[in-house]
Chains A and B, each alone.
Chain A
Amino acid sequence: MSVAARTLIALMLVAPLALAQDARLSARLDKPTLIAVNAIVDSARVAKLPTAPLVDKALEGAAKGSDGQNIIVAVRQLSMQMGSAKRVLGSSATPDEIKAAATALAAGVSERDLARLRSASGKRPMTMPLAVLTDLIVRDVPIATATSLVVQLARSGVKDPELALFQRNVRADIDRGADPSVAATTRARGLVLRSSGSGNKPTE
C-alpha cells in the first residue's frame, strides 16, 4: 500500500473525531488546554456521559478569563461528578438530570441522598427538584434539612411549577431576613399540606 493511500485512510479515520470536537473550544482555548479538555470530553463520550456540559464548563472558564489549569480541573471535576450522578440515577437518566445531579453533588449532596431523591421521585423528572435542592443549600439551608424537605416534597407528588414557586417563596423569605432553615421548612410544610389536602393551587 502506498504512502498516499495510507495517509488517506488515516485521514478518513481521524476526520470524524476532529469533526466531533467543538469548534468553539478551538477558538477560545489555548492548545494545551484544548488537548486536555478534548481528552476529557472524549472519555466522557466513551462513558456515555453528556458532553455538552463539559464543553459549556470550558467555555465558561474561557469567558471568565480563567487560566488553562483551572479550566482543566473544573471540567475534569464536572466529568467525575456526572459519572457519579449517572451511576446513582441509572442509565435512564436524561442529560439534564445528570447535569443537575452533578451540580447537587458539587453543592454537597451525598450519593446516598441522591438515591433517596431518585426513589422518592419515581418516574418523574428530577431536574427541577435537584435545582431547588441545590438552591436551598446555596442559600444556607443545612444540607440534611434541604435534602429531607425536597425528598418529602417529591414523595408528596409536588409538581415542578409548585416546586419553582416554593423556591421563590423561600428565597423571598430569606431575603427579608428569615432563618433559611425555618423558611424552607415552613414553606415545605405548607406545600405538602396543600398537595395532600384540597388540591388548591399554591399562592404566593
Chain B
Amino acid sequence: MRDETEQHIEQIARELRAPVSIGRELDARVMRAVRRLPRHARFGLWSRLITPRTVTVTPLVWGMLAAAVAAFAVLGAMHAGADLDRAAKPIARAFFPRPQTPAQSQRVQFVLVAPDAKKVAVVGDFNGWDASHAAYQAQHRGGGVWSVTAPVPLGHHRYSFVVDDSLWVADPTAPRVTDYDYGMPNSAIVVQEQK
C-alpha cells in the first residue's frame, strides 16, 4: 500500500518536473481575449477626470508647489508686462478700431493785460481754485501783458485771474458765466480735442 502511494507521488512529481510546452501564439491569444472583454466604465477617460479621489501631499511638497507657483507668477508678471502691452494693442485695435487715444488735456494760453500788477495767477475748476498752483502762475511778458500756457483737461471749466492775490478778474476775451454766488465774476472755457 505504501509502495503504491510512493509510486503515485513519484509519477506526479515526474509530470510536474517535465517542461511545459507553451505555444508561440499564447500571448497573442490571451491579449485578443482580453481586448474582447467589455471595457469597464470606471476606467474610461471621462470617468478618470470626474471621479473624485483623495490625493495625499506632504506639507513639504505642498510648500514647494506653492513656492514654485508664486515664483512663476512673479517672474511671469515681470516679463509679461511689456510684452502683454505690446501684444494686446494690435489685438484690441483689431476688435475695437479707434484712430487714436483721445488726449486728456490741451495746453491753453491765458493772457491778461494788467500794467500795474505785481503777480497774476489763473485759478479755476482745472486746478482746484488754487492760486498758488505753480503751473498756473502767469509771467510778465512786458508792456503790462501777463500770460501763462498750461494744461487744461478737456471739458467745460470756469476760471478767473487773481491779480496780486486779492483782485479777481474775469478773462475779458473769454465767454462769461453768471457766477455771482461769491460776488466775483468768472469766465468759461470749453476745451475740446484738437482734430
- With A64-B182, A99-B156 in contact, do A132 and B175 touch (Cβ < 8 Å)? yes
B110 at the interface (CB under 8 A from A): no
Find out whether the CB atom of B173 lies under 8 angstroms from the CB atom of A168. Answer: yes
Other-chain contact of B176, A24, A135, A160 (Cβ < 8 Å): A135
Find out whether the CB atom of B181 lies under 8 angstroms from the CB atom of A127. Answer: no
Other-chain contact of B181, A61, A128, A160, A171 (Cβ < 8 Å): A61
Find out whether the CB atom of B178 lies under 8 angstroms from the CB atom of A134. Answer: yes
Binds A, one of B63-71, B95-103, B122-130: B122-130
B7 at the interface (CB under 8 A from A): no
Provide the B159-176 mask, 1 if CB < 8 A to any CB of A, else 0: 000000000100001011
Binds B, one of A4-12, A69-77, A181-189, A194-202: A69-77
Please report the number of residue pairs spanning A and B whose Cβ atoms sit closer than 8 angstroms: 91
- With A56-B129, A74-B182 in contact, do A100 and B175 touch (Cβ < 8 Å)? no
Other-chain contact of A131, B125, B173, B181, B190 (Cβ < 8 Å): B190
Q: Measured between alpha carbons, how far is A91 from B14 in the docked complex, in Å?
A: 104
For the complex formed, measure the closest distance between the CB of A57 and the CB atoms of chain B, giving whole angstroms.
7
Provide the B122-142 mask, 1 if CB < 8 A to any CB of A, else 0: 010100111100000000000
Find out whether the CB atom of B178 lies under 8 angstroms from the CB atom of A64. Answer: no
A107 at the interface (CB under 8 A from B): yes
- With A128-B190, A131-B156, A135-B188 in contact, do A63 and B177 touch (Cβ < 8 Å)? no
| In the complex, chain B residues whose CB is within 8 Å of the CB of A137 | 178
For the complex formed, measure the closest distance between the CB of A26 and the CB atoms of chain B, giving whole angstroms.
13
| In the complex, chain B residues whose CB is within 8 Å of the CB of A139 | 176
Other-chain contact of B129, A62, A99, A134 (Cβ < 8 Å): A62
Find out whether the CB atom of A134 lies under 8 angstroms from the CB atom of B156. Answer: no
Q: Measured between alpha carbons, how far is A168 from B178 in the docked complex, in Å?
A: 18
A178 at the interface (CB under 8 A from B): no
11 contacts between A and B (CB under 8 A): A56-B128, A57-B181, A60-B129, A64-B129, A66-B181, A66-B183, A70-B182, A128-B192, A131-B188, A134-B177, A138-B178
Looking across the interface, which residue of chain B has its beta carbon closest to that of A171? B173
Find out whether the CB atom of A59 lies under 8 angstroms from the CB atom of B175. Answer: no
A38 at the interface (CB under 8 A from B): no
A79 at the interface (CB under 8 A from B): no
B145 at the interface (CB under 8 A from A): no
For the complex formed, measure the closest distance between the CB of A113 and the CB atoms of chain B, giving whole angstroms.
15
